[in-house]
Chains A and B, each alone.
Chain A
Amino acid sequence: MAGPKKFRMKTLQGKEAVTGYLFLLPALILLGIFLLYPMGAAFYYSLTDFYILRPGEENFVGLANFQTILGDAEFRQALINTIYFAVLVVPIQISVALGLALLVNRKLRFKVFFRTAYFSPVVMSLVVVSILWTFMYNPNEGLINELLGVFGIPAQPFLTSPDQAMNSIIAMSVWQGAGFQMMIFLAGLQNIPNHLYEAADIDGASKFQKFLHVTLPGLKNISVFIFITITIAAFKLLVQPMIMTQGGPLGSTKSLVYHIYEVGFNYRDVGYASAMAVVFTLMVLIITIVQRILAREEGA
Chain B
Amino acid sequence: MEKNRTGKKILLYVITSLLAVIFLFPLVWMIMSSLKGDLLIFRDMTSFRAFLPPLPNEIDGGYFQNYVMAFERVNLMRYIMNSLIYTIGIIIFGLIVNSMAGYALARFNFPFRNFWLAVIIATLIIPPESIFLPLYVLVFNLGWVNTYTGLIVPFIANAFAIFLFRQFLLDFPRELEEAAKIDGCSQLGIFFKIIVPLTKPVFATVAIVLFINHWNDFLWPLVVANDDSMRTIQIGLQYFMNQPPVQWGQVMAALTVATVPMLIIFIFLQRYYVQGLAHTGSKN
Contact = CB atoms under 8 A, between A and B. Distances in A.
Contacts of A113: 20
B26 A114 contact: no
B141 A55 contact: yes
Nearest to B218: A239
A201 B185 CA distance: 56
Contacts, number: 248
B262 A123 contact: yes
Interface stretch (A66-74, A85-93, A151-159, A179-187): A179-187
Q: Is the interface of A mostly helix, strand, loop or mixed?
A: helix
A18, A27, A108, A235: which has the most chain B beta carbons within 10 Å? A27
B109 A13 contact: yes
Q: Is the interface of B mostly helix, strand, loop or mixed?
A: helix
B16 A114 contact: yes
Given A35-B126, A42-B130, A222 B281 contact: yes
Interface of B: 12-13, 15-16, 19-20, 22-24, 26-27, 29-30, 42, 45-46, 50, 97-98, 100-101, 103-105, 107-111, 113, 116, 120, 123, 125-127, 129-138, 140-141, 153-157, 159, 162, 187, 191, 215-216, 218-219, 223, 234, 237-238, 241, 248, 251-252, 255, 258-259, 262-263, 266, 274, 277-278, 280-282, 284
Given A26-B100, A30-B97, A45-B133, 16 more contacts: A20-B108, A23-B108, A30-B154, A35-B126, A35-B131, A36-B123, A42-B130, A108-B12, A120-B24, A125-B259, A126-B216, A128-B30, A221-B284, A261-B219, A280-B130, A284-B130
A284 B251 CA distance: 36
A106 B259 CA distance: 30
Contacts of A225: 280-281, 284
Contact of A27 (B97, B187, B277): B97
B23 A141 contact: no
A199 interface: no
B23 A143 contact: no
A183 to B, nearest CB: 5
A47 interface: no
A238 interface: yes
A117 B19 CA distance: 9
Contacts of B29: 136, 143
A27 B102 CA distance: 9
A53 B45 CA distance: 49
B26 A277 contact: no
Interface of A: 13, 16-21, 23-24, 26-28, 30-31, 33-39, 41-42, 45, 52-53, 55, 100, 103-104, 106, 108, 113-114, 117-118, 120-121, 123-129, 131-136, 141-143, 146, 149, 175, 179-180, 183-185, 187-188, 191, 221-222, 225-226, 232, 235-236, 238-239, 243, 257, 260-261, 264-265, 270, 273-274, 277-278, 280-281, 284-285, 288
B168 to A, nearest CB: 15
A179 B136 CA distance: 33
B100 A183 contact: no
B46 A146 contact: yes
A241 to B, nearest CB: 12
Contact of A52 (B46, B137, B157): B137
Nearest to A190: B278
Contact of B129 (A135, A191, A236): A236
Given A17-B109, A27-B162, A124-B27, A264 B258 contact: no
B281 A125 contact: no
A264 B133 contact: yes
A51 to B, nearest CB: 11
B137 A30 contact: no
